[in-house]
Amino acid sequence: MLARNSEGLALTANADARRLRWPLRRRADAPIRGGQAESGLKRAHFTGSWLPFWLLAPQLFILLLFFFIPSVRALLQAFQLTDPFGATTQWVGFQNFERLFRSGVYWSSVQVTLLFTLAQNILTLSVALVLAFATNHIARGRGAYRTILLLPYAIAPAIAGIMLAFLFNPRVGPVAQMLQGLGFDWDPNRNSGHALALIVMAASWKHICYNYIFLVAALLSVPRSILESAYLDGAGPIQRFLRICLPMISPTLFFLVVINFVYGLFETFAIVDATTRGGPAGSTSILVYKVYQDGFVTLDLGSSAAQSVVLMALALALTFAQFRFIERRVNYSV
Amino acid sequence: MRPIHAVLAGAGALLLAGLSTAQAATEIEFWHAMSGALGERVDEVVKKFNDSQKEYVVKAIAKGTYDEVLNGTIAAYRAKRQPEIVQSNERSFLTMVNSGAIVPTAELMAEQGYKVDWSNFIKPVVSYYAINGKLQAMPFNSSTPILFYNRDHFKAAGFDKPGATWQELEPQLDAIKAKGVSKCAMVLPGDYEWSFLENYSAVNDIPYATRRNGLDGLDATFVFNKGKLVGQVERMKRLVSSGVMQIAGQGVIPVQLFTSGECSTIIASTAAHAAVVAAAKFDWSATELPYEQGVTPKNSVIGGAALWTLKGHTPEKYKAVAAFYNFLAQTDTQVWWHQATGYVPVTVAAYEAAKAQGYYDKSPTRAIAVVQLMRGTPSDNSLGFRIGNSNQINVAIMEEVSAAFLGRKPVQQALDDAVNRGNEALRRYEQLNAGKK
């Protein structure tokens, strides 16, 4: 039964191929002579040894300039105590790291970062999912909705941050005054939770569009035939979404979770700087913001370098985890 | 051959002429942190200097906030592209002095043959920027905090003016809020570490750090977690948590909440005059900083910034720098600067000249800062502060004190933690700069 079925499929595929014009037919034929095609690929390598180097050079140069040199300098500086102007430099071994790991402020920053990235991830993904689900069910003006939803991505993080800080400012912000009018004592200047909520909102708002665009694409690629058969079996839109779409777009979800973590950990500095400046009392000072503050505001270069080395290690670990576990288990072709 | 000679000679002459016009005006760069109205005043004073003579041209360039200017300067210095003059705030004093990157102002002026009468400078200004009586930087924009208040609000609450002591002022602030005159009786300034703590300790003659607040050596330790300073932070916490004192927060500059008429008082730098005069549409006035009952108030300490001369330039350039400083120290320049910006004049002569012009009869609040700075004989606690790693310590103190405001820790514990974090940074500074001033 099964064998016959597959034979039938193969037959229709051949029939299709016969109907195609010759250049495409050749491509369609290619897999049949798989061995030859592969050896053809293998043969297509560069003969001169310098050409690949020159082709790679521009990218390598940029990496060298903006990644390798700064990384090495950060690594060196993490073991030094240095005057901001560079007049005096002392090698201090692990003093900077010791100081860092002993400091309660650093650990509370770690805590804040965990809380922030988790909350940001959940909020971003769930809102983007709801929006993607909704636009998928809109018949008219889908393009307009999508464009509007994508707009925040074009706004600079600093502007997004300032705007939210202003809207939610307990003294002058219209949204804050609305909240206070409803009897909610909103004050991010005196309440760490409110301040954290504010940066989570700001960071998510900026990143929802990115998640949304991926989710819309993923939802579109869910085969209609399966959805239709579920429909015939009497599944409602929410059930179809939860039982069919969600499992089928799980690779995209996994990918977005990783991206959101990376975004929350490393790219939210500008938003924090514009929205709360890490305050009040360091309650929104996430790790990457602390690197900036200690390096460029308080000129504590040694500590800042040590912190960026820790972050570098974290980034490496995340990348490793992504390749080792997620990439291997998730099949990207939906 | 002859015609060619003539051409060569002509070219040579042209070249020489070109060189001599280039030499005629030595150009120097001046990086500063003044924005808005104050930035325009800086451009004006520079233009006055450039127009006053033909030999030197100063180019004033705004480089952002004080932090950004300092960062820019450090980056430029490390890349050997530093400007001749850079403006840096008062708390960066030790960072600049021990940077190995500066030419002390007193040395520069002596070398260039200018006789400056340093004794004519206002004492707390000199004691801040001088080591062994020798000025390290050129005092430029010096300020000190004063209390601005909304007279309409005080009248509506049944008061004539703010009380001179905290014991009189506090009930007034409470009453303004309780009677519904204003929802915000005072707004917390962004630099409260300077205006509410350092200046409080100077005015009330309490030690903030040992070794005369660091003036006597790098081995100073903080002691602001004791006595009246704890009381001051308790007071601030009470005012914040009862809503009498509001925190402006991100996106809003505290002084805007005063000038908009929303908050009744603010303790701010006298340089806020510029903003208040421009924006306040109500009957406002100002008075001296409140102090503790039973204390004879001492002088307050300065804030603002000074001009630092950076190493690595030609003698020609330093001639220009010295001429510019000399111009700034002139009584006329100082009087103009004082009146145009709200900063205090840095010399006693300039203050006397402004007084003789009848300026303080017209604008009495402009004299408050000068009088407050010159009042009494400075004590060990009010001469000034010389704190290494001051940026780190500043952030640490503000973080701890605001943790107390949020109720995350008791005031005493917050101050203990602030002292510990501060002392740790001081020791690190001592470790790095062992054997320096």
Q: Alpha carbon A17 to chain centroid distance?
A: 41
Do A216 and A315 lie in a common domain? yes
Q: Does the model's ipTM exceed the 0.90 cut?
A: no
- Residue B306, beta-bridge partner list: B88, B139
Number of A/B CB contacts below 8 angstroms equals 114
| Chain B residues closer than 8 Å to A276 by CB | 250
Q: How far apart (Å, rounded) are the C-alpha atoms in residues B150 and B182?
A: 10
- What region does B86 belong to: left with phi over 0, alpha with psi -120 to 50, or beta? beta
- Interface residue ranges in chain A relative to chain B, Cβ cutoff 8 Å: 81-88, 90, 99, 105, 162, 165-166, 169-173, 188-192, 274-277, 279-283, 293-294, 296-300
Query: Does A187 map to a domain?
Result: yes
Among A329-333, B133-137, B374-378, the range scoring the smallest mean pLDDT is A329-333
| Chain A residues closer than 8 Å to B408 by CB | 192, 281
Query: Which residue matches tokens 């991206």?
Result: A259
**Which residues have CB under 8 Å from B350's CB, separation 6+?**
B331, B334, B335, B338
End-of-domain residue from the set A68, A94, A118: A68
Q: Is B244 exposed, middle or buried (0-12, 13-18, 19+ CB in 10 A)?
A: buried
Interchain pair A298, B391: CB under 8 A: yes
**Cross-chain CB nearest to A165 (options B74, B78, B251):** B251
Do A39 and A135 lie in a common domain? no
Residues B19, B22, B24, B27, CA torsion sign: negative
Among A54-68, B13-27, B98-112, the range scoring the smallest mean pLDDT is B13-27
Query: Does A234 map to a domain?
Result: yes
Whether A32 has a pLDDT exceeding 80, the answer reads: no
Residue B248 corresponds to which tokens in the numbers above?
């402006």
Do A36 and A134 lie in a common domain? no
Query: Does A304 map to a domain?
Result: yes
User: C-alpha angle with apex A180: A177 to A185, nearest 5 degrees?
Assistant: 130
Q: Using pLDDT thresholds of 50, 70 and 90, give the confidence band for residue A51.
A: confident
Look at domain B24-143+303-356 and name its CATH class.
Answer: alpha beta
Q: Give the tens place of pLDDT for each residue, A320-331.
A: 887 777 666 555
**Which residues have CB under 8 Å from A106's CB, separation 6+?**
A100, A290, A307
Considering only alpha carbons, which residue of chain A is nearest residue B262?
A171
Query: Does A288 map to a domain?
Result: yes
Do A178 and A242 lie in a common domain? yes
Residue A234, domain CATH? 1.10.3720.10
β-strands B284-287, B263-269: how paired? unpaired
Where do the structural domains in chain B lie, given as residue ranges?
24-143+303-356, 145-300+388-432
Contact status, residue B154 vs residue B172, Cβ threshold 8 Å:
yes
Q: Give the tens place of pLDDT for each residue, B91-109.
A: 999 999 999 899 999 999 9
The yes/no answer on whether domain B145-300+388-432 falls in CATH 3.90.260.10 is no
Interchain pair B408, A297: CB under 8 A: no
Query: Does A83 map to a domain?
Result: no
Residue B53 corresponds to which tokens in the numbers above?
């003579």
* Residues spanned by the domain of A228: 105-329
Q: Which helix (H) or strand (E) segment is B96 a member of?
A: helix B93-97
**Cross-chain CB nearest to A298 (options B184, B392, B433):** B392
Interchain pair B406, A84: CB under 8 A: no
Do A22 and A140 lie in a common domain? no
- Interface residue ranges in chain B relative to chain A, Cβ cutoff 8 Å: 67, 70-71, 74, 77-78, 95, 98-101, 184, 240-241, 246-252, 257, 262, 389, 391-392, 394-395, 399-400, 402-403, 405-406, 408, 421, 424-425, 428, 431-433
Interchain pair A190, B251: CB under 8 A: no
Interchain pair A171, B98: CB under 8 A: no
For B375-380, the CB contacts below 8 A with 24+ separation are B375/B297, B375/B298, B375/B299, B376/B296, B376/B297, B376/B298, B376/B299, B378/B123, B378/B124, B378/B127, B378/B298, B378/B299, B379/B205, B379/B298, B380/B207, B380/B212, B380/B213
Average pLDDT, chain A: 82
* DSSP secondary structure letters along B392-437: HHHHHHHHHHHHHHTTSS-HHHHHHHHHHHHHHHHHHHHHHTTT--
State the distance between the two ends of chain A, measured CA to CA, in whole angstroms.
Answer: 27
Whether B7 has a pLDDT exceeding 80, the answer reads: no
Q: Using pLDDT thresholds of 50, 70 and 90, give the confidence band for residue A7.
A: very low
